[in-house]
Amino acid sequence: MLLACRSRLSQMLVHRRIFIGLIFTGAFAICGAVQAAPVSLDPVRAKDLAVVLPAGGSQRVAAEDAIFPAAWWDQIHAAFAKTSVGDAVERESPLANWRLVAMRLAPCQPLLAYLSERNDTLCQPELRLVWQPVEQRYRRDRWVSYADDRAVHVLYRFNGERELGADRAKIWQDLLRRAESLSVTEVDTYKKLTRTLVKSITAELQGLRSVSPAAEYDGVGERPEFGNQSSATRFMASLHSFMANHARPELLTQLTAFSLPEGREPPMIDEWVFIAFEPTHSGQDIQPQSLTVRSRRDGRILVDYGVKARASVRRDDEVLQDLFDHATGEDKSELDEAVIWTFGDRKIKGLRIADPRQTHVAHTSCVSCHKLGKLTFDLHNLSYFEDRGVSISPRVEMDVKRELAWIAAD
């Protein structure tokens, strides 16, 4: 399935948290003090930020219209129809089979499109959902639930109104829009507001816990609540409520999807198509978005390779390869370092692409990010594959490690 990566991929998950106290400074002093927030005695843990749900069972979050508007599916199906996937998604993976398999909170998604020391300050929280069609197959003496190697990633912003209140949210939103040109005082105000906002969200996520001890939430993996029916039922009810508040169409920032052509046999087909969308109007409609690779140095678009990418585990898109062949100078060198062109490139470039401090998801191609997992014959990044259990991409693990450190640094 899918990942932390490109979230365009930006790549899934979330939970509860700590809180802050009073905030003054700069434009803030005009509005008065920030009210103290409730304090969590336990630190935020990996499974708070990265929520992995089981592939099987009756406890599920379906892709219902309130969370996943029908207009989105229309655009996804129409876009795939113009590729080698055709109508395979509609025929092989009907809407009734799609379910949420992962949710992730990225508390500090960089606003700058390039690597900078300011990335830990000029950032905003982002909610990431991963949807997959879950099928059942009879293997020997039992039924096995597994996710098809096709998925949809949905990314959402936070407007801050629930967490900061209307007045402070307006200040935060204004600073967010002007992020690259803020004064020193404004940067300090923005940082404090963002920290307060994130603490509110993570506190809410920690509130989803219904299992003790807290150490059960260490490490990225399936939520511990699914160890018994009672805790699973409580957790799913709380999760539905959280998503109703935060996974709202009007907060959509990007939607990405990928799929096999007809057949459901990744090793045999060895082809995937990636597409991306951006919201129009109030998020109820989406439109195709170009796939690009940006520079780590200055955020410029190095290549724009169209509204679809067709790739395999052994090669990237031919259009991207052609653009690379015609690139020159530092742009060519940087693009070469950022893309896994061949199977052998995995070991050479994989660690750098998996490291969020060296590579943002915008700095590499969709398929390169999906080649980081342990399985080399498919593109699952965070999902279930047959009876192999959950697969976690190194990028997801490194993202969550960095994010926990960012939260703890407050």
Q: How confident is the model at residue 36 (pLDDT cuts 50, 70, 90)?
A: very low
| 41-89 residue pLDDT tens | 689 999 999 999 987 777 889 998 889 999 999 999 999 999 999 999 9
Q: What is the pLDDT of residue 21?
A: 30
259: part of which helix (H) or strand (E)?
strand 252-259
Q: What is the pLDDT of residue 54?
A: 85
Q: What is the pLDDT of residue 237?
A: 95
Gap between the Cα atoms of 246 and 198, Å rounded: 13
For 80-157, list the strands marked E by DSSP: 98-110, 123-139, 142-147, 151-157
Residue 381 has pLDDT above 70, yes or no: no
CB 261 within 8 A of CB 271: yes
Gap between the Cα atoms of 76 and 69, Å rounded: 11
Q: What percent of the chain has pLDDT over 70?
A: 85
Q: What is the pLDDT of residue 405?
A: 97
What global pTM score does this model have? 0.86
Q: How confident is the model at residue 20 (pLDDT cuts 50, 70, 90)?
A: very low
Q: Give me the residue spans of the domains in the chain.
A: 28-408
Q: What is the pLDDT of residue 29?
A: 30
Q: What is the pLDDT of residue 388?
A: 61
Q: What is the pLDDT of residue 342?
A: 84
- What's the mean per-residue pLDDT of the chain? 85
Of 33 and 307, the one with more pLDDT: 307
Residue 18 has pLDDT above 70, yes or no: no
Q: How confident is the model at residue 38 (pLDDT cuts 50, 70, 90)?
A: very low
Q: Report helix, strand or coil for 128.
A: strand
Q: What percent of the chain has pLDDT over 90?
A: 64
Of 9 and 336, the one with more pLDDT: 336
DSSP bridge partners of 256: 153, 276
| 256-285 residue pLDDT tens | 999 989 877 766 777 889 999 999 977 789
Gap between the Cα atoms of 385 and 388, Å rounded: 6
